C-alpha cells in the first residue's frame, strides 16, 4: 500500500486518536516515579484506554516474523532503545524511561512517546533527553508541502550530531492512519533534497532514537523484541504524530500535559 492522504474526515479521526494517545501519557505522568514497575505503568495505561474508549494498538500486534506483542505500550529504560516489554523490575532514581503509546479510536491510529526522568538523573542523562526532544522538534518544524523527507532527517541528524550524540538507523518514523505502520518510512538522518516530497493530508510520526554513545544496536536476549544499544550507553526517544497542512504542519499528539515545544519553535 502506498502513502494515504487524509481528507477532512480522516484528519478529524486522526486528531481524536492522537489526542487520546497523548492523554494516556498525561494520565501516567504522576504515577511514573521511583518504585513503580513498568508492568504497573502498562496496567494503568490499559485501564485508562478502556475509560477513554480507545484500544491499544500494540497489544497482540504481530508484524511478520515477530511474536505477538504482549503489552498495551512499550517501556524502554536506559540503554534500551525501543520496544521494551513491561516487566516487574521497579524503576529507580536516576533511570530514564521512554513510554510509547499507540491507540486505535474508530479505526484511526495515534502514536506518541515521551521520556520520563525517574526522580532525578545525571546531567548527562538529562542532556540526552533534552537534546533528543529538541532533535524531534527540529524535524517537525521542517514539515510543509514541497519539503522532502531527506530534509527532515537531515535536520534531526545535524542537530543530534552537533551535540556529539548518534542517530539510530535501524528504526524510523512511519506513515500512520487506518494502519499502524504505513508508507513512507521517516528516517531520522539523511540528505537534504532527497526522498519523498511532503504533500497536504499526509500523516506520519517523527520519533528519533538518539544514543549517547555509538549508534549500533542489537536485539536483546530472547524476547524477540527488545532492542538495546551495543555499547550500553543511554538511549532516548520522543515521538509525535504530525499532519502536513496546506502551509506547514499540525502536531496531532498534543494534549494538556504535553511538554512545551522548545523556544526555537515559532507560533
Ligand atoms: N509505537 C511503536 C512505534 O512508534 C511501535 C511499537 S510496536 C511493538 O512505531 F510491537 F513493539 F509494540
Ligand atoms: Co510509538
Ligand atoms: Co511510531
> DSSP states of 198-221 as a string?
P-TT-EEEE--EEESS-S-EEE-T
| In-domain check, residue 261 | no
Q: Which residues contact 245 (CB under 8 A, 6 or more apart)?
A: 144, 200
User: What residues line ligand 1, using a CB cutoff of 6 Å?
Assistant: 58, 61, 69, 74, 83, 100, 102, 111, 205, 207, 225, 239
- Is 1 contained in some domain? no
Ligand 1 pocket: which of 67, 100, 240 to mutate (most atoms <8 Å of CB)? 100
What CATH number is given to the structural domain containing 190?
3.90.230.10
Q: Report the run of H or E that residue 110 belongs to, with start and end.
A: strand 108-117
Using most ligand atoms within 8 A of CB, pick from 80, 111, 136, 240 the residue to mutate for ligand 1.
111
166-167 and 209-211 beta bridge pairing: antiparallel
Total domains, the chain: 1
| Cβ 101 vs Cβ 45: under 8 Å | yes
Residue 63 lies in a domain: yes
**Contact indicator for 113, 96 with CB cutoff of 8 Å:** no
First-last CA distance in the chain: 35
Atom of ligand 1 nearest to the CA of 73: 12
Residues 6+ apart with CB under 8 A from 56: 45, 46, 49, 71, 72, 73, 102, 103, 104
Question: What is the structure's pLDDT at 221?
Answer: 74
Task: Report the separation in Å between the CA atom of 112 and the middle of ligand 2, taken as the mean of its atom positions.
Answer: 5
259 lies in some domain? no
Residue 142 lies in a domain: yes
Nearest bound ligand to the CA of residue 176: 3
pLDDT value of position 255: 98
Residue 256 half-sphere exposure toward CB, CA atoms < 13 A: 6
Ligand 1 atom index nearest CA of 58: 12
Non-local (6+) Cβ contacts of 17 within 8 A are 54, 103, 104, 105, 106, 108, 109, 110
Pocket test for ligand 1, best of 64, 67, 74, 80 (most atoms within 8 A of CB): 74
CA of 25 to the centre of ligand 3 (A): 15
Cβ 23 vs Cβ 36: under 8 Å:
no
Domain span at 174: 8-251
Distances (CA, A) of 69 to 46, 65, 83, 119: 14, 12, 9, 29
Domain-located, residue 135: yes
Average pLDDT across each block of 10 residues of the chain; the chain has 267 residues. List them in order.
Answer: 96 99 99 98 99 98 93 98 97 98 99 97 98 99 98 98 98 98 98 98 99 95 88 98 98 98 93
Closest ligand 1 atom number to CA of residue 66: 10
Q: How far is CA 11 from each of CA 61, 108, 223, rounded to the nearest angstrom?
A: 24, 9, 36
Domain membership of residue 181 (yes or no) is: yes
Which run of H or E residues covers position 96?
strand 96-105
**pTM for this model (two decimals):** 0.98
Distance from residue 118's CA to the centre of ligand 1 (Å): 22
pLDDT at residue 220 in the model = 87
231 CA distance to ligand 3 centroid (A)? 24
Question: Is residue 211 within 8 Å of 218, Cβ to Cβ?
Answer: no
**pLDDT recorded at residue 267:** 74
Helix 8-29 / helix 38-52 crossing angle, nearest 10 deg: 140
Residue 3 lies in a domain: no
Amino acid at each position: 500500500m502506498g502513502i494515504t492522504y487524509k481528507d477532512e474526515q480522516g484528519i478529524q479521526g486522526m486528531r481524536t486518536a492522537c489526542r487520546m494517545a497523548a492523554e494516556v501519557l498525561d494520565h501516567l505522568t504522576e504515577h511514573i516515579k521511583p518504585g513503580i514497575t513498568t508492568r504497573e505503568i502498562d496496567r494503568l495505561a490499559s485501564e485508562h484506554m478502556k475509560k477513554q474508549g480507545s484500544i491499544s494498538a500494540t497489544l497482540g500486534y504481530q508484524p511478520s516474523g515477530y511474536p505477538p506483542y504482549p503489552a498495551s505500550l512499550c517501556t524502554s529504560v536506559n540503554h534500551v532503545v525501543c520496544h521494551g516489554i513491561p516487566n516487574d523490575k521497579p524503576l529507580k532514581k536516576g533511570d530514564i524511561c521512554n513510554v510509547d503509546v499507540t491507540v486505535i479510536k474508530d479505526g484511526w491510529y495515534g502514536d506518541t512517546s515521551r521520556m520520563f526522568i525517574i526522580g532525578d538523573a545525571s546531567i548527562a542523562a538529562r542532556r540526552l533527553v533534552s537534546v533528543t526532544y529538541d532533535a524531534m522538534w527540529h524535524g517537525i518544524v521542517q514539515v510543509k508541502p514541497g519539503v522532502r523527507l531527506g530534509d527532515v532527517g537531515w535536520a534531526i541528524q545535524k542537530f543530534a550530531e552537533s551535540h556529539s550524540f548518534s542517530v539510530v538507523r535501524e528504526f524510523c518514523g512511519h506513515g500512520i492512519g487506518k494502519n499502524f505502520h504505513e508508507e513512507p518510512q521517516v528516517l531520522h538522518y539523511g540528505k537534504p533534497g532527497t526522498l519523498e516530497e511532503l504533500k497536504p493530508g499526509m500523516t506520519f510520526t517523527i520519533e528519533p532514537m538518539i544514543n549517547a554513545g555509538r549508534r549500533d544496536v542489537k536485539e536483546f536476549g530472547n524476547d524477540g523484541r527488545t532492542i538495546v544499544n551495543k555499547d550500553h550507553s543511554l538511549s532516548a526517544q520522543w515521538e509525535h504524530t504530525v499532519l502536513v497542512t496546506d502551509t506547514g504542519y499540525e502536531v496531532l499528539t498534543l494534549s494538556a500535559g504535553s511538554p512545551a515545544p522548545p523556544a526555537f519553535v515559532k507560533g
